[in-house]
Amino acid sequence: MLTTGLISWWYIDGYKLFASRIWTKLGDTADFFSIGSLLRTLFAPYRQISANASGNSIDAKFMAFLDRLVSRLVGGVARLGIILFGIIVIILQLILSIASLVIWPLLPVIPIICIILSIMGVTIWIK
């Protein structure tokens, strides 16, 4: 009775709980890198560095335009860097998550496999 309950929990409720935790962690990582927000503002001026440039002369306007351009370029590079890094981290986490989800149902079987491997005398030999 107890064993049946434990096994059924492992493959039904426990698995669901494990999957939901993995999903939450993926969400947290995605939020940390805020890729959606970075993409939306990809070429917005970085930290409003150019925001104070003002004046009515052509020179001032040209300088303000240059400031903004540089600020946008800096912002674009910084955001792209983070987006790329974030995507890599998320992909790696996704791979690990899928692997965990695959391993979970196998965990109760692993001791049996280990006993068989031990009886069979399987070893890993490194030269």
Partner 1 sequence: MDQINQYNPNSARAKYARLGHTLGSPLLTGLLVIALILALVFGGILVFSCNALGWLAIGIADIILILIIYIKMLFVKVPLGKTDNINDILSSNVLALLGQKPTVKMVASSLMKTRSGNFLALRFGLIPRLLEGVASDLPEDMVPIFETSRKIAKKINASQISGGIIAIAIIENHPNHEEILSRMRLDLGDLYEGITWYNYLHGLVKDSKKKRRDGGIGRDFTFGFTPLLSRFGQNISASRSLTTKTQLFRASNQEAIAQMTEIFSRTGRQNVALIGPDGCGRSTIVNAFSELLLDANSKINRDLKYRQIFKLDAGSIIGGTGGQGDIERLVTGLLNEAYSAKNIIIYLNNAHLFFENGVGSVDISNLLLPVLEAGKLRMILSLDEQRFLEISAKNPALANVLNKIMIAPSNEEETIKIMEDQVPFLEFKHKVTYTYWSLKEAYRLGDRYVKNVAMPGKAIRVLEDAARYARGGLVFGESVSEAIEKSEGVKLQTANDSTEEKNKLLNLEKLIHERMIDQEPAVHAVSDALRRAAVGVRNENKPIGTYLFLGPTGVGKTELAKALAEVYFNGESEIIRIDMNEYVESTDVNRLIAEGSVDAMSLAAQVQKHPFSVVLLDEIEKASPQVLTTLLQMLDEGILRDAKNREISFRDAIVICTSNAGADVIREKIQNGEKYENLKNEIVNQLISNREFKPEFLNRFDEICLFKPLSKDDLGKICDLLIAGVNKTLAPQKIAVSLAEDAKDVLIEAGYDPLLGARPMRRIVSKTVENIVAKASLSGDISSGSNIIISKAEIEEELK
Query: Rounded distance, CA 15 to CA 8, Å?
Result: 10
- Binding status of residue 120 toward partner 1 by CB under 8 A: yes
CB closer to partner 1, 51 vs 91:
51
Residue type, 10: W
58 touches partner 1 by CB under 8 A: no
Closest by CA position to 100, among listed 15, 12, 9: 15
Closest CA to 122 of 106, 114, 107, 108: 114
Is residue 114 involved in binding partner 1 (CB under 8 A)? yes
Applying CB under 8 A, the span of 58-66, 91-99, 115-123 interacting with partner 1 comes to 115-123
67 touches 53 (CB < 8 A): yes
User: Which residues bind to partner 1, rule: CB under 8 A?
Assistant: 1-2, 5-6, 9-10, 13-14, 17-18, 27-28, 31-34, 37-38, 41, 44-49, 51-52, 75, 78-79, 82, 86, 107-108, 110-115, 117-126
